[in-house]
Amino acid sequence: MPKRDNDAILLEQMGHAVTDLEVRFRRSTLEERVALRPMLEGMLADYTRYRLRLLKEGTITTEEDLREMQAIKKEIDKAASKQSLLKAIARTVAFIATKI
Amino acid sequence: MRNPRHCAPIAALVCLALAQAGCTEKKAQALVVAAQTFASEAKGAVQNVRALYLADISSPDETFEKQSAQVAVAIEKEILSGSSMNDEKFAELLKGTTLSNPALSEINQEFDLLERAYSTFASMYESLPQGYLFSRQAVKNSEKHAINLTVQLINMAEEVEKHPLQFRGRRILLQERLKDVAGITNEELRQASIGILSKEIVHLRQEEEKANQQAILQCLRAAEAGKRVAQLIRDYDKLSLEDILTLTGDALGFASAITDSADVKALVAKYNGIRETIENDPYWAPLLDKAITDSGGTN
């Protein structure tokens, strides 16, 4: 059995706590639900943010990278315009050459 | 007036350049297809992983009838307890058992960014077949992104493998039904209910495992496609059109082999090895944004 990391243990504990509390919440009276809701929603948000933090540790892309890729796209688009102009000129030169 | 003797060699050169360009244009088109394949596989992977995360933090998905029944039970409890209704309790009654999660939008923002990254990557090359003569440097500059986006997919697969996700809403509903079964006094009915529940519990376990595995495999399929795009860019000038088509074809064949593979752990380990190779490669390492690659957490 592979050794589990601390994140796995903590995630499991948080997940159990949120699920158990939600099961209890759903069976509670309205008065109890009013009291339990902020705690439960807070725990769910903490659990979600913990998951998000671990996901982000593996994320490399930033908004800056997106801007860089868009700039590269513009460069290639510009190159396409330049190339189509060049092709037009080349064809014209070739045409003229055949007429001389 | 131009000397006709000068025009003839120019015309010959132009014809030669255009003929050569035909081959290079096809190479550019092959790169476009490879990048689009990568983006499509990667978007599929991000969508799979997003669905898993949302299932992991979601409350049970319930029908109108079930919600109405829950409201009725809550009203009944209020009447039996003899307490009076006030606006705070009525507001709670209206909310039902649905929870609000302020971190939900943060998770969605993260996945939106990831999806946009892969779409933007593929869109970079859209005009390449028309502009390859002047795009050499731009294509070279895009290599860094191909590598980063590939490694990112390996990291995502590893994260799902290390910390599998659950169908939380379904787990909650099954736990509720287990509590209900304990209250059934008729032995025959109780045994029948336990039998049904047991099957549903096994189904849940199988479906959770399958969903996690599929997400991991899709990430690795996409990473394979990304690795090939990075290779194509790296060796673009050296490769013939045939080499490029073979590389792209191999990537597609390998990707479908990944889908059929059952040994997810071994595959994740293999791709972790590929990530390490990229990190230690003297050519690729400087292009890799190192922010995340030591997947440590709080270990």
The answer to whether position B127 is within a domain reads no
- Mean pLDDT along residues B19-35: 76
Q: Which two tokens stand for residue A99?
A: 């007429």
Residues B140, B75 share a domain? no
Query: pLDDT grade, residue B6 (50/70/90)?
Result: low
pLDDT, tens digit, 9 for 90 and up, residues B175-186: 999 999 999 999
**Does position B169 have pLDDT exceeding 70, yes or no?**
yes
Residues B173, B82 share a domain? no
Q: Which two tokens stand for residue B237?
A: 């000038």
Residues B68, B31 share a domain? no
Residues B117, B67 share a domain? no
What number of C-beta contacts closer than 8 Å exist between A and B?
221
How much is the pLDDT for B1?
44
Residue of higher predicted confidence among B269 and A46 = A46
What is the tally of structural domains in chain B? Answer: 2
Residue of higher predicted confidence among B290 and A96 = A96
- Could you tell me the sign of the dihedral formed by the alpha carbons of B226, B111, A67, A74, in that order? positive
Residue of higher predicted confidence among B287 and B191 = B191
**Does position B297 have pLDDT exceeding 50, yes or no?**
no
Of the candidate ranges A75-89, B82-96, B252-266, the one whose mean pLDDT is the lowest: B252-266
The answer to whether position B128 is within a domain reads no
Query: pLDDT grade, residue B215 (50/70/90)?
Result: very high
How much is the pLDDT for B293?
39
Taking the Cβ of residue B3 and every Cβ of chain A, the question of whether any pair is shorter than 8 Å is answered with no
The answer to whether position B17 is within a domain reads no
Residues B183, B64 share a domain? no
* Chain B residues within an 8 Å CB radius of A40: 99
- Mean pLDDT along residues B149-170: 96
**Does position B134 have pLDDT exceeding 90, yes or no?**
no
Query: pLDDT grade, residue B201 (50/70/90)?
Result: very high
Share of chain B above pLDDT 70, in %: 80
Query: pLDDT grade, residue B104 (50/70/90)?
Result: very high
Residues B266, B158 share a domain? yes
* Chain B residues within an 8 Å CB radius of A3: none
* Chain A residues within an 8 Å CB radius of B133: 79, 82-83, 86
Taking the Cβ of residue B269 and every Cβ of chain A, the question of whether any pair is shorter than 8 Å is answered with no
**Does position B299 have pLDDT exceeding 50, yes or no?**
no
| Residue among B59, B78, B297 minimizing CB distance to A54 | B297
Taking the Cβ of residue B84 and every Cβ of chain A, the question of whether any pair is shorter than 8 Å is answered with no
pLDDT, tens digit, 9 for 90 and up, residues B35-61: 999 999 999 999 999 999 999 999 998
Q: ipTM of the predicted structure?
A: 0.86
Share of chain B above pLDDT 90, in %: 52
Residues B183, B75 share a domain? no
Residues B285, B179 share a domain? yes
Residues B67, B36 share a domain? no
Backbone angles phi, psi at B283, to 5 degrees: -85, -45
How much is the pLDDT for B10?
53
- Mean pLDDT along residues B18-24: 53
Residues B262, B163 share a domain? yes
How much is the pLDDT for B115?
96
**Does position B292 have pLDDT exceeding 50, yes or no?**
no
The answer to whether position B5 is within a domain reads no
Residues B87, B112 share a domain? no
The answer to whether position B225 is within a domain reads yes
Residues B266, B235 share a domain? yes
Of the candidate ranges A42-46, B13-17, B92-96, B123-127, the one whose mean pLDDT is the lowest: B13-17
- Mean pLDDT along residues B193-198: 96
Query: pLDDT grade, residue A98 (50/70/90)?
Result: confident
The answer to whether position B201 is within a domain reads yes
The answer to whether position B19 is within a domain reads no
pLDDT, tens digit, 9 for 90 and up, residues A7-57: 999 999 999 999 999 999 999 999 999 999 999 999 999 999 999 999 999
- The parent domain of residue B70 ranges over 60-98
The answer to whether position B54 is within a domain reads yes
